[in-house]
């Protein structure tokens, strides 16, 4: 049996690249060449930076920082509001190209995936040449760039893709670990967040190589038994996680938001849940799916997460039904009026069939709700996702910011399992 061969494909500055590709197709300038960023509201100076161009980075603008701070650094920053429908469309498009090259593709996030290229040597004699062909195909067909990392497992492929950017192909095989990975700061190791890196630094572990060569016993004493074993293995390039192709039918739809101001009243929470239900149901309807399981997640201002789910007697794609169930789940979850930092809704147990069982009690109100959803979807498809908003959402007194991948660091410091 030959060595495993894994590619990790990562879109460069995904949100900004996808917005740039759309604008260039419309004959507008390439915003990647000017100080620009995705996220927040320029006029209100609220929200966070979700992605930034290389020229914006030269001003010191960082992903995850408040828009107000970014504008102080660069008053002429070209700021664009997020368009998650556009991002979903581009994500599907680049995944389809990846599936032309590999028998097994695992989506890891909206802008990255793993390809299991093991056993494809008869088709692609040289993996670097194959990766460059894939990279070039994405660039020519979709007009944005990717980085591709190549390694014998998912961990090393992902580490390789994070080397020099943008538009590059890098390898990281076992014999290259000591030269390419070990000199890097320990905080660059996948799953090691800022808090963990600081703990390791205090014990004299500053590089990935120092972590790899420290005894497992020492590392576990510093960060804990399970997580210590994980990052010690990672530092030595050890990972056995398979590339798992997940069928479309198994997927769900979710959306969550971090809140600029804590939620402290049920009324404000309901408004946020309506905005989430509206967004996630609209995306689901676009794919012709319905859900029979709804879950709600909350995060307190002490960063504790709670979730609850409910199975429905019939699958639905009606925003109001999803919203009402979400509110009931929220009521069951929220205790003692603890201030909340995050709210989320997820829809699973999907039915993608063209028809569904009509209830004997299908009433006129539900039909009106379906027609309203259809009208809103049509307006948004024609004029953009922000062209129309439900009144109850618009009246919310809260400033709502989009969830971003920067929150992953918090998860990593909690020792969550990764590839």
Residue 414 lies inside a defined structural domain of this protein: no
As for how many domains the chain has, the answer is 3
Residue 413 lies inside a defined structural domain of this protein: no
CATH number of the domain encompassing residue 287: 3.30.1490.100
Residues 3 and 101 in one domain: yes
Closest CA to 235 of 178, 193, 196, 195: 178
Residue 418 lies inside a defined structural domain of this protein: no
Residue 98 lies inside a defined structural domain of this protein: yes
Report the b/e string of 319-341 with b at 16+ CB within 10 A.
bbbbbebbbebbeebbeeeeebb
| Rounded Cα gap, residues 192 and 209, in angstroms | 14
Residue 410 has pLDDT above 60, yes or no: no
Domain boundary among 242, 258, 277: 242
What digits encode the pLDDT tens for the residues 208-265?
999 999 999 999 999 999 999 999 999 999 999 888 876 545 467 887 777 767 888 9
Q: Are 230 and 90 in contact (CB under 8 A)?
A: no
| Rounded Cα gap, residues 358 and 409, in angstroms | 45
How would you list the strands of the sheet with 36-38, edge to edge?
51-52, 36-38, 78-80
Residues 82 and 218 in one domain: no
Residues 166 and 235 in one domain: no
Domain boundary among 196, 224, 242: 242
Q: How many angstroms from the chain centroid is the CA of residue 190?
A: 16
Closest CA to 262 of 303, 306, 323: 303
> Which residues constitute the domain of residue 123?
1-173
By CB atoms closer than 10 A (0-12, 13-18, 19+), residue 42 is middle
| Rounded Cα gap, residues 232 and 75, in angstroms | 44
Q: Are 105 and 115 in contact (CB under 8 A)?
A: yes
In the chain, pLDDT over 90 holds for what percent of residues?
51
Residues 189 and 286 in one domain: no
Residues 210 and 289 in one domain: no
H-assigned helices in 236-318: 266-286
Q: Are 403 and 257 in contact (CB under 8 A)?
A: yes
Q: Give me 207's structure tokens.
A: 């590089």
Residues 226 and 255 in one domain: no
**In the beta sheet, which residues pair with residue 300?**
340
Residue 17 lies inside a defined structural domain of this protein: yes
What digits encode the pLDDT tens for the residues 77-119?
999 988 888 998 999 999 999 998 888 899 888 899 999 998 7
Residue 358 lies inside a defined structural domain of this protein: yes
CATH number of the domain encompassing residue 191: 1.10.150.20
pLDDT for res 207: 98
Residues 236 and 345 in one domain: no
Q: DSSP letter at 65?
A: S
Residues 277 and 319 in one domain: yes
Q: Which residues are catalytic?
A: 112
| Rounded Cα gap, residues 117 and 138, in angstroms | 17
Residue 417 lies inside a defined structural domain of this protein: no
């Amino acid at each position: 049996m030959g060595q495993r061969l894994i590619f990790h494909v990562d879109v460069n500055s995904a949100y900004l690249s996808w917005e740039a590709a759309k604008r260039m197709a419309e004959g507008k300038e390439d915003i990647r060449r000017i100080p620009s960023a995705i996220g927040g509201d320029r006029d209100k100076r609220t929200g966070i930076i979700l992605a930034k161009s290389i020229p914006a980075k030269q001003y010191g603008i960082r992903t995850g920082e408040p828009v107000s701070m970014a504008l102080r650094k660069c008053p002429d920053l070209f700021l664009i509001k997020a368009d998650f429908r556009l991002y979903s469309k581009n994500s599907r498009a680049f995944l389809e190209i990846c599936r032309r090259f590999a028998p097994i593709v695992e989506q890891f996030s909206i802008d990255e995936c793993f390809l299991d290229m093991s056993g494809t040597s008869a088709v692609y004699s040289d993996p670097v040449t194959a990766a460059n062909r894939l990279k070039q195909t994405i660039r020519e067909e979709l007009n944005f760039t990717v980085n591709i990392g190549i390694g014998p497992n998912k961990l090393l492929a992902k580490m390789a893709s994070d080397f020099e950017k943008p538009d590059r192909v890098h390898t990281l095989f076992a014999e290259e670990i000591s030269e390419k990975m070990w000199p890097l700061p320990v905080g660059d190791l996948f799953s090691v967040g800022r808090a963990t890196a600081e703990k390791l630094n205090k014990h004299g572990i500053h590089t990935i190589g120092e972590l790899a060569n420290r005894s497992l016993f020492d590392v576990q004493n510093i960060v804990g038994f399970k997580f210590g074993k994980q990052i010690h293995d990672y530092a030595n390039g050890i990972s056995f996680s398979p590339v798992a192709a997940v069928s479309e039918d198994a997927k769900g739809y979710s959306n969550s938001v971090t809140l600029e101001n804590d939620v402290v009243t049920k009324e404000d929470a309901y408004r946020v849940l309506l905005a989430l239900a509206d967004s996630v149901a609209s995306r689901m309807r676009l794919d012709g799916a319905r859900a029979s399981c709804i879950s709600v997640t909350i995060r307190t201002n002490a960063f504790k997460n709670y979730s609850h789910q409910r199975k429905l007697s019939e699958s639905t794609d009606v925003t109001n039904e999803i919203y009402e169930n979400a509110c009931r789940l929220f009521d069951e979850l929220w205790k003692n009026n603890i201030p909340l930092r995050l709210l989320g809704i997820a829809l699973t147990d999907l039915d993608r069939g063209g028809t569904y069982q009509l209830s004997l009690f299908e009433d006129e109100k539900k039909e009106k709700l379906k027609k309203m959803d259809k009208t809103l979807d049509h307006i948004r498809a024609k004029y953009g996702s922000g062209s129309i908003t439900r009144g109850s959402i618009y009246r919310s007194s809260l400033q709502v910011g989009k969830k971003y991948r920067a929150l992953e660091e918090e998860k990593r410091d909690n020792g969550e399992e990764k590839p």
